[in-house]
């Protein structure tokens, strides 16, 4: 498996269009950790889902309605959330923005999609 673990990250390239107003860019990853920037257009949705990974998300810009395990909050720049393994979580973008997601272990499923 190839890992993206260069010492520096260029934020101007490598966006993957996921459809529905959502794009992502890999910052770096190895078998233990992954960081991803996810760009959302207004009203785009990151559907409720769960996975066995631990996830910490930081709101870099914009405003999001975030659901974590049946609790809903409005988060904006500087806020964040933690989704423990196997907990349902998702977002709706209220104002165009970007989320920075960190996962452990890395999301191998992202690389096979």
CATH of the domain at 106: 2.60.120.10
Question: What is the reported pLDDT for 56?
Answer: 98
In a domain, 36, yes or no: yes
In a domain, 9, yes or no: no
Question: What is the reported pLDDT for 6?
Answer: 74
In a domain, 94, yes or no: yes
Cα dihedral sign, 57-94-26-110: positive
In a domain, 1, yes or no: no
In a domain, 13, yes or no: no
CB 16 within 8 A of CB 39: no
Residue 94 sits in which domain range? 19-111
CB 39 within 8 A of CB 108: no
Question: What is the reported pLDDT for 93?
Answer: 98
User: Using only C-alpha atoms, what is the Rg of the chain?
Assistant: 13
In a domain, 46, yes or no: yes
pLDDT digits (tens), the chain, 113 positions: 567 767 888 777 789 999 999 999 999 888 899 999 999 999 999 999 999 999 999 999 999 999 999 999 999 999 999 999 999 999 999 999 999 999 999 998 888 76
Number of domains composing the chain: 1
In a domain, 14, yes or no: no
In a domain, 64, yes or no: yes
Cα dihedral sign, 15-17-18-20: positive
Question: What is the reported pLDDT for 112?
Answer: 77
Instruction: Name the pTM for this structure.
Output: 0.92
Both tokens of 108, joined, read 């191998």
């Amino acid at each position: 498996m190839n890992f993206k673990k260069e010492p520096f990250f260029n934020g101007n390239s490598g966006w993957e269009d996921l459809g529905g107003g959502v794009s992502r860019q890999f910052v770096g990853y190895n078998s233990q950790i992954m960081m991803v920037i996810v760009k959302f257009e207004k009203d785009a949705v990151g559907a409720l889902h769960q996975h066995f990974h631990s996830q910490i998300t930081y709101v870099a810009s914009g405003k999001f309605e975030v659901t974590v395990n049946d609790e809903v909050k409005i988060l904006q720049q500087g806020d964040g959330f933690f989704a423990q393994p196997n907990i349902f979580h998702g977002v709706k973008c209220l104002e165009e923005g970007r989320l920075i997601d960190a996962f452990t272990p890395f999301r191998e499923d992202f690389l096979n999609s």
